[in-house]
Amino acid sequence: MSVFPRWRSIRTLVRTTLRYKLLLLVLFPTLLAMPATLGLTIYWFNSFTRDNLFLKVKSDLAVTRHAFGQMQQDYATALQRLTDSYSFRLLLTNGDARGLQNELKSLIDEEGFTFVHLTDELGNWLYEESLGSRGSSKPSPLTNRAMRGRPSAALEVFTPDDLQREDPTLIERMRVPLADESERAYEDRTVVMRAVYPIRDFGGQVLALLDGGIALNRNNTIIEELRERVYGPGTLPSGDVGAIALLLDNVRIGTNLTIGQQDTALGTYVSTEIRDKVLGEGSTWVARDLVGQQWYISAYQPVFDADGQGIGMLQSSILEAPFRNAHYRAAALLLLIFIGVIALATWVVLRGARSIFKPIEQMANLVRATQAGVDRRMGKIDSQDEIGELAVQFDSMLDLLQRRNHEISRAAEQLEAKVEDRTRELEQKNTDLERTVSLLRETRQQLVMAEKLASLGQMAAGIAHEINNPTAVIIGNLDLLVAELGDAANSVHGEVDMIIQQVDRIRYIVDGLLQFARPSSPGDNTDIENVNINRTVKDTLVLVRHAVEKGETTVHVQLDATRTVRIRRYELQEVLINLLLNAARAVSAGGVIEVITADWEQQGVVISVKDNGVGIAPEKLGRVFDPFYTTDTRHGTGLGLSVSYGLIRRYGGEITVESELHRGSVFQVWLLKEPVLADQSAGAEDSGENYYDRRRNHERDYI
């Protein structure tokens, strides 16, 4: 009955007194959090240890599997060394049966083979009849592979009949007594590591096969060699040597696992759970495993025969007891450390808290007095630590606070007036700054564009002059060639005419390029003609047909224009080629391109090139006509749209673009029926393009 009043009294002290509240808060981690931390640490340590053991044994199993495969390869290599030896080849060439059998017997003795035979393609033993032995090897996919010139090695299951044909004494030697004799007393089948190596003549034809096998039932030599490769010195705690086991189905037929002081686990079964997981599902199984009276951390993995069928399992295990004992010792040490830390922390907290409470309680009383309007101070404090300094500063703060209250009242009125003045001034400056930034941006863009296009015009003129010389040489030498050949040139008359036409075309393009680079009078209308827009579109589609067909693109044409337009026809074709090639590159396989011509009110004609390709991002749409800007770095140079824009602008026309990302783009060319010609130099700068470069690239594509 007296417990409840005492508990209520303690709770009241904690709620109303800082001294006890601070003690409770400081000791709470010590009394509650640290034991909880200890429990979580032990739990984590236990899980970490278990997970590491599982990871180690799984890694050991992988090493075991690799070592097992390497052993198979080593035995196959031993067969290869014999077939490649000069003495064996000489005996085989002479048909020396006795000598060949001696070589095979030496191989068995030195390498540990259970049997080695020289056979034909059907597995019949060769050179053994004269020695009183006749027979054939067990049929195997390994033999078929070897006859095709592919040496191979794999595991196979031999029945008692298969062992009988090799050596009758093997049946008893390979028999494994079973621990559970409810169904049968022995496991009569044998797992054999078999390797077949082809023997070729100098022409590469397979003459015979060298067939060798190592019986793995009760083969301690193989198991011990595997254990030494996996669990070398220093890899396990004292008292554990590691264990390896080979299982046929779910029976251990070779192992160094022990179930007592001396008895091995040979002939013992694994659980149904392990068998279903490993052999049924073909998965790796890792967990605690009870073998006899000892717990192991084991990992199992299926093994397969030459046909890829699961015939058994490979096991890698380590004793749990050494690791468990080490784990318990570490946990006990950790517990002792935690108990010592808790005791020390509790003592330090109780000793150190006393010097804190008194100044804090005095400051609390002072705060209450100040709230009540009483002008009091802390006075002299004996504590020399931060709490004592805080008490002194608290007095100073009260004095300062009293003075600052008067100053703040006066400053608030002045500040409000200044804020209003500065706000109006800042708004005006922001407006002026925005106007200045906009003007600078426009001016900079104009200067950059003018500089780029001026350089491009100079470069285009230089390239055009350089091309005129080789074209003149081509025409001159072609005329000389025709004259020299005489009538013999009649057979290639068509090809000669085509060369002349194409060279004239190059010179025509170069002349046009020189017009870009060389200023002419605004009234220069050389080569301008009335162009049928619909016919020009049809001719242009023929030129880019290869690019469209290569991309499996469908082109829909709707030619509704009825007017002609005065323009240089080859320049209009250049613009259309650029737009069509860009559209063909933008669409994926099976895409659609639409080409539409229509009358533009009373002013001229509009040509639309529409695709359902990748489209152009909104932030890039404003730069598509800039020189050297391209969104297709694999094929484009960034000049096609720029030169097209310059060509159309020269005649007073316009090119516009609309695009939606992942939906496609629409380019529209607006042409006046009677052009308003711009100055040639201005037109070149407006295009921002090396005209001849693009013309040459397009002609190279479609010629």
Q: For every residue of 375-419, which 3-state class applies, written as one string?
A: CCCCCCCCCCCHHHHHHHHHHHHHHHHHHHHHHHHHHHHHHHHHH
Contact 289, 297 (CB under 8 A): yes
- 313 in Cβ contact with 250 (< 8 Å): yes
Q: Helices 34-84 and 220-230 meet at what angle, rounded to 10?
A: 130
Residue from 317, 213, 298 nearest 256 by CA: 317
Residue from 366, 368, 371, 369 nearest 391 by CA: 366
Domain ranges of the chain: 59-327, 400-518, 522-702
Using DSSP, state whether 137 is helix, strand or coil: coil
Cα dihedral 595/601/603/605 (nearest 10): 10
Place of tokens 């711009």: 678
The per-residue pLDDT for 701 is 37
| pLDDT less than 50: residues of the chain | 1, 130-132, 512, 516-522, 680-703
Q: For 48-117, what is the HEC assignment?
A: HHHHHHHHHHHHHHHHHHHHHHHHHHHHHHHHHHHHHCHHHHHHHHHCCHHHHHHHHHHHHHHHCCCEEE
- Fold observed for domain 59-327: Beta-Lactamase (3.30.450)
How confident is the model at residue 637, as a pLDDT? 58
The pLDDT assigned to 287 comes to 83
Q: Which tens digits make up the pLDDT trace of 630-642?
A: 766 566 556 678 8
pLDDT at 193: 92
Helix, strand, coil % over all residues of the chain, rounded to 5: 55, 20, 25
522-702 CATH:
3.30.565.10
Measured distance CA(347)–CA(356) in Å, rounded: 15
Whole-number pLDDT of residue 7 = 62
